[in-house]
Chains A and B, each alone.
Chain A
Amino acid sequence: KAGVTQTPRYLIKTRGQQVTLSCSPISGHRSVSWYQQTPGQGLQFLFEYFSETQRNKGNFPGRFSGRQFSNSRSEMNVSTLELGDSALYLCASYLWGTDTQYFGPGTRLTVL
C-alpha cells in the first residue's frame, strides 16, 4: 500500500497570508490526525477527523482549521500566518478503533 502523502512538501509564506495543506491517508484509513512539530514545542496535536467529522481538537487558536472529504483526504488551513507558525506539519492516518498512526513526510512551512 502507498503511504500517507502530504502536499506540498515545502512552503514559504509571509506573515498575514493564509495556507492550505493537504493530506491523503493510506487507502482504507478513514481517520486522520494533524500535528505541528517545532524544535521548542515538540509534536503537538492539532485535530483529528473521522468520516468527515472533527472528533478531537488540540489547544490551538481558531486560525487553525481543517476538514476531511468523503474520500478521507484531509486539508488543514492556517489563516493570518504568524512567524511562530513556522513548523513541520505532520499528518497521520489510521484505522478507526486502532491507535497506530502512520505519519506522512510532512509539510515544512516557513513564515517570513
Chain B
Amino acid sequence: GQQVMQIPQYQHVQEGEDFTTYCNSSTTLSNIQWYKQRPGGHPVFLIQLVKSGEVKKQKRLTFQFGEAKKNSSLHITATQTTDVGTYFCAGGGSARQLTFGSGTQLTVLP
C-alpha cells in the first residue's frame, strides 16, 4: 500500500532560525496536504497542493510539491514560538483515504 515517509521526526531550532520538513511517497500522489497539530490539539489543515512542481506560500510558510508528485516540503522562515507543534503531510492517492506521514515535531527555543 501507499506509504508516506516524513523527516526529520524531531527538530529543535532557535527562534528566528529556519525549519524544513520533507515528505516522500512510495507512489505518485494525486495531491498532498499539510496539517499542523499543536500540543494537546488536533490536526488543522494548512494547505493542499495538487499540481506537479506547485509552490504555495502562506506568510512565512512555503510549501512545495515535487515534479514527480512523490515528494513535498514545508519550509518555515524565521521561526516563532507560535510555530511549535507537529507538522504532518498527508498524501492523497487513488483511494479517497489520506495517508499521513509520521510527522515532524518542531520545538522553537526562545
Contact = CB atoms under 8 A, between A and B. Distances in A.
Contacts of A53: none
A56 B42 contact: no
Given A99-B31, A99-B33, A100-B33, A45 B45 contact: no
Contacts of A102: 45
A55 B44 contact: no
B92 interface: yes
Interface in A55-112: 55-56, 58-59, 90, 99-106
B59 interface: no
Interface residues on A, range: 20 to 34
Interface string B73-110: 00000000000000010101001111111110000000
**Overall SS of chain B's interface:** strand
Given A45-B97, A58-B97, A99-B31, A106 B48 contact: no
Nearest to B45: A100
A33 interface: yes
Given A43-B88, A90-B43, A106-B42, A101 B98 contact: yes
Interface residues on B, range: 20 to 34
Q: Which of B44, B96, B102 has the most CB of A within 10 A?
A: B96
Contacts of B97: 33, 45, 48, 56, 58
Contacts of A35: 100
Given A45-B97, A48-B96, A56-B95, A100 B48 contact: yes
Nearest to B31: A99
B98 A103 contact: no
Q: Which of B31, B41, B98 has the most CB of A within 10 A?
A: B98
Interface of A: 33, 35, 42-45, 48, 55-56, 58-59, 90, 99-106
Given A59-B1, A90-B42, A100-B33, 9 more contacts: A33-B97, A33-B98, A42-B101, A43-B90, A43-B103, A45-B100, A99-B98, A104-B42, A105-B42
